[in-house]
Amino acid sequence: MSDMPLLKVRSLSKFYGNRIGCHDVGFDLWPGEVLAIVGESGSGKTTLLNCLSTRLMPSTGDVQYRMRDGDYRDLYRMSEAERRVLMRTDWGFVHQNPADGLRMTVSAGANVGERLMAVGNRHYGRIRATASEWLSRVEIETDRIDDQPRAFSGGMRQRLQIARNLVTSPRLVFMDEPTGGLDVSVQARLLDLVRGLVSDLGLSAIVVTHDLAVARLLSHRMMVMKGGHVIEHGLTDRVLDDPREPYTQLLVSSILQV
Amino acid sequence: MSAPHTEPVTAPESAGEAELAAYNFAYLDEQTKRMIRRAILKAIAIPGYQVPFASREMPMPYGWGTGGVQVTAAIIGPEDVLKVIDQGADDTTNAVSIRAFFQKVAAVRATTHTADATIIQTRHRIPEHTLKEGQVLVYQVPIPEPLRFLEPRETETRKMHALEEYGLMHVKLYEDIARHGRIATTYAYPVKVHGRYVMDPSPTPKFDNPKMHRSEALQLFGAGREKRIYAVPPHTDVVSLDFEDHPFEVQQFDRPCALCGATHVYLDEVVLDDRGGRMFVCSDTDYCETRQAEGHVGEMLATSEREAAE
Ligand SMILES: Nc1ncnc2c1ncn2[C@@H]1O[C@H](COP(=O)(O)OP(=O)(O)OP(=O)(O)O)[C@@H](O)[C@H]1O
Ligand SMILES: [Mg+2]
Ligand SMILES: [Zn+2]
C-alpha cells in the first residue's frame, strides 16, 4: 500500500429534505484497501456509496480523489466530462441488480468490450480477445461470448458485470450488495472470485453489504452505519471480534446465532 | 438557394387548388421559414449536430418526409429548380406528390436531371451524378439519432453527443461482426462529421456514404416527427465508422446495370416475371436514362435489340 490515500472523504452529508441520508462521514481509503460499509436496511449505505461515486450530489462535504498523476482532485469540482471519463476508466461500479450495470440486449463480448471501445480501441480482434480473456477470468465459458446476458444465470450475470468493470484496469471499484440477489452457494463462489481479483489486481474497493460474512471475507476495514451516522469504524477483524458499540454487538451477535 | 420570395401566391390554376393557393409562397408562413432557416444556419455552423426546431404540421403524413419538405420550403425561391427522388427514382408516388406540392405552392420549375437541379430532395439515395457547388441536397430523415439503437433515453444521448462519448456506436458495429462475421449494417451507416459529431445519414445505403465526404454541395437533413435539422456544409469530412481490422466498405455489385451497362453504381433488383426472371438496374433512374440516351447499352437492352432485329 502506498503512503498516500486514494480517497479522502470529509464531512460528507446527504439530506433528502428533512430526512438524513448520511451525516458527517469522513475517512481515508488507501490503495489496495477494501472497505465494507455495513448496517441495517435504511441506515444510509447506498446513499453514502452513491455520494462517494458521484452518482448522487451530496448536500455538504467533499471527496478528494488521487488521480493517476498523483494530484488530488475534488470530485465535485470536476467537470461532468472529466467525471464520466474517470467513472468509465479508473473506476468500476457493480450494482446489486446486474441488469442495472449490463446491457442486456448486447452480447457478453460487447458488454466487456464497451469500455475498451469507449476509450478508443478500434481493433475488433484485440477487443474480442481481451473480452474472451476476461470471461475466462470470471469463470464464464468463452464459447458464451456471443450470448446475451439475458441467457445467463444470476451468478453469471454478476460475474459478467464484474468483468465489464475491470477490463480497463480501474483502481477503485464500488459495489452495492454485489451478492445480494444470489443463492448462498453462488454467493460463496462469487465472493471467492472477487477476493481473488481484488488481491491480484491490487484494487481498492468500497463494498456495501448488510451481510457481515461478506464484510469478513472481503474487507480489511469496515464502517458500521445506523440512522445515517457511522457509529463504529475499524479493522474488520477487530470490529467483528471485539465490537465496541452496543449496536454493533447486537449486529454481530445476531449473525453468530445464525 | 435563391432569394426568398415573400409574395403570396395568387391566381389559382383551378378551383381544386384554391385552398393551397391561400397559403404563402412555398406553403409555410414567413415567420416559420425564418425559424427553420435559423435552425439550418445553426446546423451548418455545427456540422452533424442535431438542432431542434418547431416542426409544423404539413399537408401530408410524417412518413412522407415532412422534415425534408419543411427544409425545402424554407430555402426554396422562385428561381430554384427542384428535383425530388425516392429510392433514386423521380416517378414514385412519394416523389411525384412532393414535386407536385412545390410546383403548386411555389410554382418552381421541376427537373429530373440531377445536374440541372438547384435543390434535390431525397429519401434513400444520393444521386450518382456528382453534386456540384451551389446545389443543395435535402434528406428526408425518419430517425435522426444514431445512438437511439442502444440508448433510448434522450437526456443520455444528448449528453453523449455533448461529451463526445461515442463508444456505443462501436458496440453496435462489434455486435454486427460478432453475429455476421462482418459489418452487416447496409443502411443508415453511422458517420463522423468534421471529426466531431456522429451522425446518422439515414436511411441512405452505405454505398452513398463516400459521396457525402467533402461534397461540393450543401447537405441538409430534416426529421419532421423528431423535430430535428442537421447539416453537412460543403467540403466537410464525413467518415464512416469502422474497425482497423474491419474497415468500412461499400456494397459491391458483381454485374453492371442491365439497361445502361454502368458499373460502380447502386443497383436495384427488378423482378421480370413469375418464373424467377430478374435483372439489376441503376436505382438512380435519371442517371440510367441519361446514359442510355448517350448510347450506353446494358445486357438486357442489347438482348432485346438483337431479338427485335431478328
Ligand atoms: N431518493 C430518496 N428520497 C428520499 N429519501 C431517501 C431516498 N433514498 C434513500 N432515502 C432515505 O435515506 C435513508 C437511507 O437510505 P439508503 O437507501 O441509503 O439505505 P441503505 O442502507 O442502502 O438501505 P438498504 O439496505 O435497504 O439498501 C432511508 O431513510 C431512506 O428512506
Ligand atoms: Mg441500499
Ligand atoms: Zn443503368
Residue B33 pLDDT exceeds 60: yes
Residue B161 Cα, gap to closest chain A Cα (Å)? 11
Q: Kindly list the residues from chain B whose CB atom is less than 8 angstroms away from the CB atom of residue A145.
A: 178
Of the candidate ranges B51-55, B63-67, B130-134, the one whose mean pLDDT is the lowest: B63-67
CB contact under 8 A, A122 and B170: yes
- What is the pLDDT, as a whole number, of residue B12? 40
| Contact: A146, B178; criterion CB under 8 Å | yes
Cα–Cα distance, B154 to B147 (Å, whole number): 9
Binding-site residues on chain B for chain A (CB distance < 8 A): 150, 159, 163, 165, 167-168, 170-171, 174-175, 177-179, 242-246
Give pLDDT tens digits for B228-273: 999 999 999 999 999 999 999 999 899 999 999 999 999 999 988 8
- Cα of B111 vs its chain's centroid, Å: 16
Distance A163 CA to ligand 2 centre (A): 22
* pLDDT, tens digit, 9 for 90 and up, residues A17-64: 999 999 999 999 999 999 999 999 999 999 999 999 999 999 999 999
A127 touches B at CB < 8 Å: yes
Which residues of A are less than 8 Å from B245 in CB distance?
Answer: 123-125
Phi, psi of B237 (to 5 degrees): -70, 130
Q: Rounded to the nearest 5 degrees, what angle is found at the Cα of B226, between the Cα atoms of B110 and B220?
A: 40
Cβ-based contacts of B177 with chain A (< 8 Å): 124
Mean pLDDT over each residue of chain B, to the nearest integer: 90
Q: Residue B309's pLDDT is what?
A: 66
Tell me the chain B residues in contact with residue A118 when contact means C-beta distances shorter than 8 Å: 165, 167-168
Low-confidence ranges of chain A (pLDDT < 70): 1-2, 255-258
What number does the ligand 1 atom closest to the CA of A210 have? 25
Provide the ipTM: 0.91
Whether A44 is in the pocket of ligand 1, judged by its Cβ within 6 Å, is yes
The distance from CA B109 to its chain's CA centroid, rounded to whole angstroms, is: 20
Task: Tell me the C-alpha to C-alpha distance, in Å, between residue B211 and each of B27, B219, B290.
Answer: 31, 11, 20
pLDDT tier for residue B19 given thresholds of 50, 70 and 90: low
Contact A149, A162 (CB under 8 A): no
Cell numbers 446518422 correspond to B200
Could you tell me which of B166, B180, B168, B183 has the C-alpha nearest to residue B248?
A: B183
Phi first, then psi: give them for residue B94, nearest 5 degrees: -60, -50
Q: How confident is the model at residue B291 (pLDDT cuts 50, 70, 90)?
A: very high
Calculate how far, in angstroms, residue A44's C-alpha sits from the geometric centre of ligand 1.
Answer: 6
- Confidence band of B310 (pLDDT split at 50, 70, 90): low
How far, in Å, from the CA of A180 to the mean position of ligand 2? 10
Residue from the list B159, B175, B245 with its beta carbon closest to the beta carbon of A107: B175
Residue B6 binned pLDDT confidence (cut-offs 50, 70, 90)? very low
pLDDT at A255: 60
Residue A180 in contact with ligand 1 by CB distance below 6 A? no
Residues 6 or more apart whose Cβ sits within 8 Å of residue B250: B206, B207, B209, B210
Residue B23 has a pLDDT of: 73
- B20 falls in which pLDDT band (50, 70, 90)? low
Q: What local confidence, expressed as pLDDT, does residue B193 receive?
A: 98
Residue B73 class from Cβ within 10 Å (0-12 exposed, 13-18 middle, 19+ buried)? Answer: buried
Q: Do A117 and B170 touch (CB under 8 A)?
A: yes
Q: Is the pLDDT of residue B13 over 50?
A: no
Give the integer Cα–Cα distance in Å for A180 and A204: 20
Residue B114: the pLDDT is 97
Q: How many Å lie between the alpha carbon of B178 and the closest alpha carbon of chain A?
A: 7
Give the global pTM: 0.88
- Residue bearing cell 450495470: A101
Say yes or no: CB of residue A210 within 6 Å of ligand 1: yes
Interface of A with B in 132-151 (CB under 8 A): 145-146
- CA contacts within 13 A on the Cβ side of A62: 9
Q: Supply the pLDDT for residue B7.
A: 45
- Joined grid coordinates for residue B222: 430534416
Identify each DSSP E strand in chain A by its residue range: 7-16, 19-29, 34-39, 60-66, 72-74, 91-94, 172-176, 204-208, 221-226, 229-235
Show which residues of B are catalytic: 48, 257, 260, 282, 288
